Structure 1
Amino acid sequence: MSEAGSSRESQRIRLVRAEALVLRRRDLGEADRILTLFTREAGKLRAVAKGVRRPQSRLAGHLDLFMRTNVLLARGRELDIVTQAQLVESFSGLRQDPWRVGWAGYLADLADRATAEEDPQPALYELLVDSFRLLATRDDPFPIVRRFEMRLLVLLGYQPELFVCPRCGKRLMPGKLAYVPDLGGVVCAGCLTEGPSEILLSVGAVKALRLLLADRWQELENRPLSPQLRGQIETTLQAALRAHLSGPLSSADVAAVLDRRQGNGNDGDCTSPLAGASG
């Protein structure tokens, strides 16, 4: 290959065009930002947006949190550099209420922690885009957030067992039931041990979890769900996530506090079971 051809090949490899969601951002110096981008084509990438904090920057308005943007990246050894950005979808409704921002941050945090750098996860990318769009337009975050948590577990290969007891292998019947994180499923009345890790569930909670597993989350929007039922569903899904994602679900604390302050739900409705630990 000629020297000119080799140069063109090197340039092609070192430039990446991708559609991206902005998961995180951190100020760098006086005008730059370090971004965590979740791209459809290349997976999670970290990049510097130079001068983006200057009002006259051509990148300004295209790389805010949670925005969906087409980017051109120059690959670097440690951090890529954003050379071009064109907004695709802003999800402007997310910025209308603090609780929407909080829950969007929670979903972005889950996506960030569930993925490795440069490991494309197109199904998860599409799920996050769809979830941002729903959070921006729907009034109740509960079914949207719970659907994301369940689909994330499925995509990671940790689908909870909701039909057969993982201890005895018998089909679950109505009665006293509990989710056991270490087993990854719901145990029957005969296999309950009353251990501290068991999360007691009503029959209604198990049915709701099955709807989420079947991606029939819209049916939960049309049902009156008591705070107790919502709490059981949420506690189960977050226990399942904790079993596979390291560290506390810190963004859930923020989202829950914001949700309570906005008056969405009663006595814990739509809130995180972690909220009490955050003060």
Structure 2
Amino acid sequence: MATRERVFRTEAIVLRRQDFGEADRLLTLLTPRHGKLRAIAKGARKAAARKTGHVELYARVDMLISRGRELHIVAQAEMKEPFLALREDLVRTTYASHFVELLDRFTAEQDASRAEFDLLNNALGWLCEDIDPRLVARYYELALLGMAGFAPALHHCAVGQEDLTAQDQYFSAMDGGVICPDHYGGNRAVPITLNALKTLRYMQKQPWDAIKVLRLGPELHRELEQHLLGYITTILEQRLQSVDFLRRLRREEL
């Protein structure tokens, strides 16, 4: 059986970082080939350290990593994309935190694939553009749910399996998606408008270039968020800290 390389080079997105010892940082990284990793950036907190600034949160970095038994060691780090706009806007930073929290909940350590890496990398870039971050969030959520095997049923009744007709329906997180009026389950489902259903279907099937030009009204944004976040919370069986913080930020803006 082939042995794993002792030292390897990889791109990585910094998902989390925390102080470790007197001068080091413990990083949680997302890589395209090795999934999620934990690694020590030695001396990263020293002002003159070569790694200082190269391990910023949510940055994409080219790294040389020495494999360890439990924790890896970052031997070299070179910034590739800092996503600077995320550090200049608290709301967009919080959306980036939301993306990372979702990725964390849906993937185990060393379990993420190239697809998850590319999705997060692209979504962080989209957050830096002049695009409504709510649009980026809904697209990211649907794409990640699909990769994790939890795509909501949007084209057929999640209970009866029959094709849905063009009318207002119900959304049931417990049943895995949209259910028709004939199978409405009372308290387990909430109404979903035809406009919201069509939008979710479009976002589930179309590439980002087709999604980013959409202009959605505030009511539609709220409805899409209600359905998707309720669905995600039901799957995970726990609340999302990033969502609670986003809602507090919105109340402060009013």
TM-score by length of 2: 0.92
One-letter amino acid matched to 1:190: D
CA contact (8 A) 2:171 2:179 kept: yes
CA–CA separation in structure 1 for the residues paired with 2:30 and 2:102: 12
CA contact (8 A) 2:131 2:212 kept: no
Partner of residue 103 from structure 2, selected from 111, 114, 126: 111
Partner of residue 124 from structure 2, selected from 127, 132, 138: 132
Q: Residues 72-103 of structure 1, C-alpha deviation per residue, up to 9 Å, x if partnerless?
A: 11122221111110111111111121111111
Specify every segment of 5 or more residues in structure 2 that has no aligned partner in the other structure, as ranges: none
Structure 1 residues 99 and 209: CA distance shift in structure 2, 3 A: same
Specify the alignment match of 2:234 in structure 1: 243
Specify the alignment match of 2:31 in structure 1: 39
Matched, 1:16 2:11: no
One-letter amino acid matched to 1:229: L
One-letter amino acid matched to 1:122: R
Task: Report sequence identity in percent.
Answer: 36
CA–CA separation in structure 1 for the residues paired with 2:148 and 2:128: 25
CA–CA separation in structure 1 for the residues paired with 2:135 and 2:208: 6
Residue 183 of structure 1 and its aligned partner are, at CA, apart by 1.6
Structure number with bigger Rg: 1
CA–CA separation in structure 1 for the residues paired with 2:229 and 2:162: 25
One-letter amino acid matched to 1:93: A
One-letter amino acid matched to 1:150: L
Number of aligned residues: 253
Aligned residue for 2:19, secondary structure, equals strand
Specify the alignment match of 1:74 in structure 2: 66
Greater shift, 244-253 or 39-48, is seen at: 244-253
One-letter amino acid matched to 1:205: A
Structure 1 residues 97 and 245: CA distance shift in structure 2, 3 A: same
Matched, 1:56 2:48: yes
Specify the alignment match of 2:113 in structure 1: 121
Aligned residue for 1:26, secondary structure, equals strand
Q: Residues 204-229 of structure 1, C-alpha deviation per residue, up to 9 Å, x if partnerless?
A: 11011011101355555545533332
Residue 182 of structure 1 and its aligned partner are, at CA, apart by 1.9
After superposition, residues 94-173 of structure 1 pair within 5 angstroms as 94-173=86-165
One-letter amino acid matched to 1:178: Y
Partner of residue 200 from structure 1, selected from 191, 201, 222: 191
Residue 239 of structure 1 and its aligned partner are, at CA, apart by 2.3
Residue 105 of structure 1 and its aligned partner are, at CA, apart by 0.8
CA–CA separation in structure 1 for the residues paired with 2:176 and 2:170: 11
CA–CA separation in structure 2 for the residues paired with 1:220 and 1:49: 38
Greater shift, 251-260 or 30-39, is seen at: 251-260
Structure 1 residues 217 and 40: CA distance shift in structure 2, 3 A: closer
Greater shift, 111-120 or 221-230, is seen at: 221-230
Aligned residue for 1:137, secondary structure, equals coil
After superposition, residues 256-267 of structure 1 pair within 5 angstroms as 256-261=247-252
TM-score by length of 1: 0.84
